[in-house]
Structure 1
Amino acid sequence: MSDLTEAVAQLPDKSLLVMDDDSALRVRLGRALESRGFQPTLAASVAEAVAAVKAHPPAFAVLDMRLDDGNGLQVVETIRNARPDARVVMLTGYGAIATAVAAVKAGAVDYLAKPADADDVLRALLARHDENPAPPENPMSADRVRWEHIQRVYELCGHNVSETARRLNMHRRTLQRILAKRAPR
């Protein structure tokens, strides 16, 4: 049993809310955190998450920043009103300083870029109030971060190469070559 799993076992309340509109990520992260001892509730939207918080305020939460029906910050505020001692970690595919600052001001204890490793999420959730979470053990390379960003914009543009290239200020053929390659490590 790892130190992190032992720490979870010592918690008096293991309730956890996982909110993300990406079904695969939500289920995978929920299962990973459940295997480490949490009791997750999964939500696919802001409305589902707010209803879950009102029904049973969780001790921990992992929330996506941007969803189709709203913003994860709305859920942070709902959690803070229902349970001020809850520990919230924000996940996002958009690594912007302004949104990180807004998340922390709203009450999140940490802000992680997708795709986040379950152990990184767990470390952030369990970090003491007076210490900053440790940096990830295997951070993504700059090439991987760039590739993830391009993939996210490509998805947001409905897999339209020309629109994605326009938004990224990139030549269409260059973008096509990047999309044809495998993800860097």
Structure 2
Amino acid sequence: MRPNTRIVQDLSSSGANWAGMGPHSAPRHALNPSRSEVAMSQRTHAPMDNHADRNSPTSAVRRYYNLVDEGDIGALISLFEPDAEYHRPGYETLAGHAALEHFYREERVIESGWHVVSRIISEGPEVAVHGTFEGILRNGDMVTIRFADFFTTTPRGTFSLRETFFYTPLV
């Protein structure tokens, strides 16, 4: 099986390699499930919480990480609405399937890697994710970086919006 894949901002120039932020150091928290749906795992491929509905916004987000880690770009793009937007630092807004596919196939700086999700919180169609990505950049550098993602889902379980943030020194 090929190593998992993930997109991140080009971190090679910042020298970011977050030692100590590996998969076994990810925090594990619990929230009041009556207010928010919470599912946690060390790796995105771990089984979901027994209470998670297969068609829930949280399940769609977990599918996203599994597909991106497996490098299944076609299936990943199908999780987005045709006019979905993706906002991430350092890039113009990506809008629509063609722009998203071009980004995932041509512009991402990651060769391989995987997500370690420490927290997923869902309220209605909104899903917030906190985790760590570990992988290898196309230039061969190893990277470990914390991230936060925010998804807006549709009733069909697809994404109309995704926003990504990275924990990295900029100023």
Query: TM-score, structure 1 length as denominator?
Result: 0.25
The structure that is helix-richer by fraction is 1
Q: Which has the higher contact order (CA 8 A, sep 6+)?
A: 2
The structure with more strand, counted as a fraction of residues: 2
